[in-house]
Amino acid sequence: MPGPRALAVNVAANTNEPGFRGPVYPDGSFAYVPIPESAATLPRGRALVDEPVPTYGDLDLPFAVPAVLRETPVHADPEFPGVHGRERATYGDPHGVKAGRIAALEPGDRLFFYATLSLRPRDWAGPGGERPGDGGADDRGGAWLRERGVGVDDDLAPDWGAYLFAGIRVDRVLSPADGDGVVDRAAAAAAAPTNAHLKRDPFDARVVAVGDPKASGPFDRVVPLSAPDAGADANPIVTDLSSDSGKGPWWRRPMAFDEAATAELLARIDRA
């Protein structure tokens, strides 16, 4: 039988939304920070699951969130069992460029997630007291670590970089029957009732991926996609294994991996 294929997509907090990147620590461990919820959402009584849309203040994070963000709803997608109070492994996407590629995945394939993360000391306090980058921000990063001789794993980028941090083993993928429009909402509700897109009004997911909860979740350690000397430079996982050229803003694009490349990538994840 042929082996699994994989697709990696960019998710999580960044310098545009909500204004800071999540941290990666000197040993390659990290914190997953979702983006803000950018769409209108259903009132709690109309949502499928009796739970509010989570806010930044609800997240289980190892640093302080700025006061201005604590009541800001988050788009908790992807969701992973045991992370930020979630129980399932799901991902929905409304964007055609990513949705079409995700829709081509089959059971057993992998959907990986990567994010741009900033190198921070283990006790990083957070991006600011009132808003990201204000006077209360903990600006310690790669330069601070280097100046003090703090040991940093040699495959991490010197300041910020792109890193694979989680994945799901695909159980099923829901997409529109005609390949256009959005997923049937009732089918999505049955398969992934807590996915963040089902809280949106209107429902907008062009694809919904459901993962095996026992074989999905964050990694123990990131797998770098950036070169160790510059976050904007792609390393061989991107340039040699993936479908991407590694040119331009490669860290924003989906990356496909064929069977052989996926086998090598899974081995690297296991070694991380």
The per-residue pLDDT for range 136-169, each reduced to its tens digit, is: 899 999 999 999 999 999 999 999 999 999 999 9
Average pLDDT score over the chain: 94
DSSP the chain: -----EEEEE-S-BTTTBSSPEEE-TTS-B---PEEP-S-B--GGGSSSS-PPPBGGGS--SSPPPGGGTTSBEE--SB-TTSTT--S-EEEE--HHHHHHHHT--TT-EEEEEEEEEE--TT---S-SSSTTSTT-----HHHHHHTT----TTS-SSEEEEEEEEEEEEEEE--TTSSS---HHHHHHH-TT-GGGGBSS---SEEEEE-GGG-EEEEEEEE-EETTEEEEE-HIIIIIBS----SSGGGS-EEE-HHHHHHHHHHHHH-
Do the domain assignments include residue 1? no
Distance CA 157, CA 110 (A): 25
Do the domain assignments include residue 177? yes
Domains contained in the chain, number: 1
Do the domain assignments include residue 52? yes
Instruction: Provide the β-strand partners of residue 115.
Output: 163
Residue 43's pLDDT is 85
Q: Which of 233, 96, 101 is nearest to 157 (CA)?
A: 233
Distance CA 129, CA 139 (A): 12
Do the domain assignments include residue 37? yes
Residue 44's pLDDT is 73
Name the pLDDT band for 7 (thresholds 50, 70, 90).
very high
**Domain membership of residue 80 as a residue range:** 6-270
Query: Do 182 and 246 meet the contact criterion of CB atoms below 8 Å apart?
Result: no
Q: Mean per-residue pLDDT for 197-220? A: 96
Q: In terms of pLDDT, which residue wins out, 44 or 26?
A: 26
Residue 131's pLDDT is 87
Do the domain assignments include residue 230? yes
Query: In this model, does residue 93 exceed pLDDT 80?
Result: yes
Distance CA 253, CA 107 (A): 23
Residue 230's pLDDT is 97
Do the domain assignments include residue 46? yes
Q: pLDDT of 174-199, one tens digit each? A: 999 777 799 999 999 999 999 999 99
Do the domain assignments include residue 64? yes
Q: pLDDT of 14-26, one tens digit each? A: 999 999 999 999 9
Query: In this model, does residue 102 exceed pLDDT 90?
Result: yes
Do the domain assignments include residue 213? yes
Residue 1's pLDDT is 64
Residue 180's pLDDT is 78
Q: Mean per-residue pLDDT for 108-129? A: 97
Residue 52's pLDDT is 85
CA torsion sign, 187 to 189 to 190 to 191? positive
Rounded to 5 degrees, what are φ and ψ at 204?
Answer: -130, 10
